[in-house]
Amino acid sequence: MQIRFILLVSLVIFISSCIPEAPPFLDAMESQQILPLPSESPQEWLLAFIDVETTGLLPGFHEMIDIGIAMTDPEGKLLDSLFLRIQPEHPERLSPGAFAVNAFDPERWRQMDAFDHAAAVDSIIAFHRHSAGQKHVLMVATNSHFDAAFLDHLFRSAGKTWRELYHYYILDLPSMAWGLGLRDLHQRELMNLYDVADEPHIAEQHTGITGALLNARIYRALLQYQKDHQK
């Protein structure tokens, strides 16, 4: 009987030791703190327009090879920007389609001093701390699920989370345009209407920062389109 009891206690201790502790940032994520609404206190909010280039389309298998972030105020005024090249851990997984878009080459990335995952995450966090300070930040992207998924895998690989940086709502430009009656998911019509400069489509020049800055320009055009159609 005593041996059974000892074995039971040992089993409970073993199972308890296998349950991972809650990460320290979880309390902050689940905080019931009431944030000021952007509509009521726009001065307390910023937008981070994000675009990433990757080795393919599948987050968790493919990886980010660069990221661009354009930090703006709620009206789309550019305040700061960041561009990083990132060395993937599995460059051999590069898909032909991704190569055609961004011309990723691991040796060229090494020559350009690409960051490893941990250094890239630390740089992104430092950029946000410097640029946003205590303000609340909304992530904005064109393919928001795509960019957020790759960002999530990058941060997880370094034992961190992007949720520490951004509000849990994520905005995406196609939905904004859709709500205004614009059904062109690539916003070519809007870009032509407001003479929005496109990003380069030459693979060697096509990067996350060219995409992020384009996203910010499209956002400003959407705001102008809304104003023009309210008259």
Q: What is the CA radius of gyration of the chain?
A: 21
Is residue 36 in some structural domain?
Answer: no
pLDDT at 153 over 80: yes
- Within a domain: 17: no
Tokens of 39: 């509509």
- CATH code, 216: 3.30.420.10
**pLDDT beyond 90 at 20:** no
Condensed to tens digits (0 to 9), the pLDDT of residues 36-89 reads 899 999 999 999 999 999 999 999 999 999 999 999 999 999 999 999 999 999
The arithmetic mean of pLDDT across residues 197-215, rounded, is 97
pLDDT tens profile 158-205: 999 998 899 989 999 999 999 999 999 899 999 999 999 999 999 999
Point out the least confidently predicted range of 9-18, 48-57, 118-127, 217-226.
9-18
Determine the pLDDT at residue 10: 54
CB 158, CB 193: distance < 8 Å? no
Q: CB–CB of 60/151 below 8 Å?
A: no
Please name the helix (run of DSSP H) or strand (run of DSSP E) that holds residue 65, with its range, or none: strand 64-72
Burial 91-100, CB ≥16 within 10 A → b, else e: eeebbeebee
In a domain, 165, yes or no: yes
Q: How far apart are CA 216 and CA 55, in angstroms?
A: 24
What is the domain extent for residue 98?
42-228
Q: Is 49 part of a structural domain of the chain? A: yes
Helices of type H across 19-158: 26-29, 96-102, 106-111, 117-132, 144-157
Q: Residue 141: pLDDT above 80?
A: yes
- Look at the chain and report how many structural domains it folds into: 1
Residue 192 burial (CB < 10 Å; 0-12/13-18/19+)? exposed
Predicted pLDDT at 142: 95
Q: Say if 13 falls within a structural domain.
A: no
Residue 134 — very low, low, confident or very high, per pLDDT cuts 50/70/90? very high
Residue 148 · residue 139 · CB < 8 Å: yes
